[in-house]
Amino acid sequence: MLELIIIIILAILPLKLLTKGSSPYERLIGLNVFSNKVLVLILLLGLSYKEINFFIDVAIGYALLNFVGVVVLTRFLRMREESNG
Partner 1 sequence: MVELLSSITLWLGLFFLAIGSIGIIKMPDIYCKLHASGKCDTLGIFLAFAGISMQLDDWHQVLKIFLILVFIAIANPTSAHLVGRTAKHSNIKFWKKSK
15 Cβ contact partners less than 8 Å away, ≥ 6 residues apart: 30, 34
Is residue 7 within 8 A of residue 37, CB to CB? The reply is yes
Candidates 8, 25, 49, 51: give the one binding partner 1 (CB under 8 A). Answer: 25
Distances (CA, A) of 4 to 20, 21, 40, 53: 26, 27, 9, 19
CA–CA separation, 67 and 79 (whole Å): 19
Residue 58 binds partner 1 (CB under 8 A): no
Least separation in angstroms between residue 74's CB and partner 1 is 5
Task: For residue 32, state whether it binds partner 1 (rule: CB under 8 A).
Answer: yes
Q: Is residue 29 a contact point for partner 1 (CB under 8 A)? A: yes
Q: Is 51 in the site for partner 1 (CB under 8 A)?
A: no
Q: Which residue in 43, 51, 83, 85 binds partner 1 (CB under 8 A)?
A: 43
Contact footprint for partner 1 (CB under 8 A)? 3, 6-7, 10, 13-14, 16-17, 23, 25-26, 28-30, 32-33, 36-37, 39-40, 43-44, 47, 52-53, 56-57, 59-60, 63-64, 66-67, 70-71, 74, 77-78, 81
